[in-house]
Structure 1
Amino acid sequence: MNYSELQLRLSPDYTDILTAELAELGYESFVETDEGLNAYIVEPDFDEQAIQELIAKYADQTAIAYEVNSLEKRNWNAEWERDYEPIEVADQVRVRASFHESDARFRYDVVINPKMSFGTGHHETTAMMMEQQLGLDFAGKTVLDVGSGTGILAVLAAKMGAKSVLAFDIEEWAVENARENAELNDCPQITVFQGTIDDINPPGNMLDWTPAVFDIVLANINRNVLLREVPIYADLLKEGGYLLVSGFYEHDAVDIEQKAREAGLTSVKGMSIREWTSLVFQRSTWVQGVM
């Protein structure tokens, strides 16, 4: 069966959002490009009207252009395996697929088999989040992974000694994939559910998750979500707890830092790679009334 290739030219800020939207429409794999995003779907399932409606949905927020190509049947798994190379972070972490051999030179061996062609640590924001994680003590800690995707950050947290990790994503495929990757890495302390930050510790929480607060919160998502939810993350942190964030550009860091300060967080460390940025904040003890 042939595939349709949808080539989108759009702002990088909307790549993750459009990826999620297209996954809901049945697109099976994605590749980020210099101009935006390529998405793939079997030809019988391609619906151009659905694409036009999706673009119209975001027309008042950003400009999106597209074109469609027909591709011959390919062995997509073989092409993915050909293009997927292990990555190394700070000489301590090696992220690989299950078909790669392990490398004993690295302290942490993280196995990630993504359902889509992203969330493997190759993006600058994910690599920075992992490097920031290496600077913290996860031993015996409780961790929350916001918008967990493939579960790569949750897996590293578990391998670094976290006692329990709660991860969630709004996408069903991501939840399934994160659970698979947690099992691949033998991380039973990871719990993954489908939902949003609003599902954390509501009255009558069906997850029966304890404790009510976390030692570390990880959030590799986009600027708009962070600006809206940083105060919630701060409320979920224990005194002295850490918030690690990424998924935005250097010029957005000022707004993120201001929102964090307003929520009682102190900036601890920043990192940038090719205009992408990651920040670490700590919750001050006075926020919870301890002087």
Structure 2
Amino acid sequence: MSLYEPPYKDLCIYYLKGRIGRDLLLEKEKDFIGNWEEADDSFLFFKRPADRCMNGLLGRQPHLVLHDRYQMSYEQWQGDTVSPFRVGCLQVTPPWHAEAHRLDKTGILLDPGVVFGTGSHPTTRDCLTALQRAFEFRSPASVLDLGTGTGLLALAAVRLGARKVLAVDLNHLAAQTARRNAVLNRMTDRLCVVQGNAINFMDISSDLMISNVHYEVMRHLIAAPGFARQKQFILSGLLRTQAREIEYQLHKQTVEIVHKWEQDGTWHTYYGHNNA
């Protein structure tokens, strides 16, 4: 593999209606990358077409229905070439790039695999900016990252100085990818990644809570009693109307919104303190 090549050249994605039960034959398939589950849908990623494997799976698990099949390059799936980028003092680089060998102590190696969170989305960039502001204000020792995706924001928190970071994602493939990135950056002593529902972790107090998630998840998180125990917070992933509703709910609580970021009039990010 060339130094500049991503982990996968092409992807073949099978969209199934239904959730897949444990299947050892599928897991042993050499071209199988992983399974992304969304509600009652499953998206199986392979390095190349695997129709024979899929036919076998559908025969073993007849409740599954093949809905569609997609084939595209890795760059098409990610929306662009995964390249190094800098936000403030943080340099984020894919491990296959030449820059990976020249990273300093603020560098982060990020292998997104097939998971959202390469850093190209405006909300991710704003969260990285907000993180640096949070550490400038009052360096958080403990950080809770809910909806971690590839683990980028959790990795950044460790790189900025957090001693204990808990990263949570409901999706198994996302949690698996975040764990791999923790190992890649030698952060497993300070960064713990678990698969689970974000709302179930709101009772854990932290110096900083980060959540870049869908509005439907966000509104439950800030309504949870445990939100008052998060000393600082970064909330993102919100569209304009959703952001107004979240801001309205925050103003009813004992919190202070310190700064707001808006990208393209569409995406909104909030950084604040809890005054409880």
Please say if 1:280 is aligned against 2:271.
yes
Match of 2:192 in 1: 191
Cα distance in structure 2, aligned partners of 1:243 and 1:139: 13
Match of 1:87 in 2: 85
The answer to whether the 8 Å contact 1:265/1:283 transfers is yes
Q: What is the CA-CA distance between 1:115 and the residue it aligns to?
A: 2.3
Match of 2:143 in 1: 143
Cα distance in structure 1, aligned partners of 2:113 and 2:11: 19
Match of 2:25 in 1: none
Write the mapping of 1:2-21 to structure 2, written as runs, cut at 5 A: 3=12, 20-21=37-38
Sort the Cα spacing of 1:140 and 1:21 in 2 relative to 1 into closer, same or farther, 3 A.
closer
Cα distance in structure 2, aligned partners of 1:104 and 1:86: 12
Match of 1:224 in 2: 216
The answer to whether the 8 Å contact 2:228/2:274 transfers is no
Counterpart code for 2:168: F
RMSD of aligned alpha carbons? 3.4
Match of 1:251 in 2: 241
Sort the Cα spacing of 1:83 and 1:5 in 2 relative to 1 into closer, same or farther, 3 A.
farther
Sort the Cα spacing of 1:189 and 1:23 in 2 relative to 1 into closer, same or farther, 3 A.
farther
Q: What is the CA-CA distance between 1:266 and the residue it aligns to?
A: 1.5
Write the mapping of 1:10-159 to structure 2, written as runs, cut at 5 A: 20-21=37-38, 25-28=42-45, 42-44=50-52, 45=54, 50=65, 71=71, 83-90=81-88, 92-100=89-97, 101-102=99-100, 108-137=106-135, 139=139, 141-159=141-159
Cα distance in structure 2, aligned partners of 1:69 and 1:242: 43
Counterpart code for 2:271: V
SS in 1 for 2:182: helix
The answer to whether the 8 Å contact 2:169/2:198 transfers is no
SS in 2 for 1:115: coil
Cα distance in structure 2, aligned partners of 1:131 and 1:179: 23
Q: Which runs of 5+ in 1 are unaligned?
A: 7-18, 30-39, 53-67, 203-211
Match of 2:4 in 1: none
Cα deviation 1:116-171 (Å, max 9, x = unaligned): 15311111111110111111126451110001111100000001100100111111
Percent of aligned pairs sharing the same letter: 22
Match of 1:265 in 2: 255
Counterpart code for 2:250: A
Sort the Cα spacing of 1:2 and 1:147 in 2 relative to 1 into closer, same or farther, 3 A.
closer
How many residues align? The count is 231
Cα distance in structure 2, aligned partners of 1:167 and 1:21: 19
Cα distance in structure 2, aligned partners of 1:121 and 1:83: 12
Cα distance in structure 2, aligned partners of 1:23 and 1:112: 29
SS in 1 for 2:134: coil
Cα distance in structure 2, aligned partners of 1:41 and 1:149: 26
Counterpart code for 1:99: W
Cα deviation 1:162-218 (Å, max 9, x = unaligned): 01001111111111111111111121201111111343277xxxxxxxxx4111000
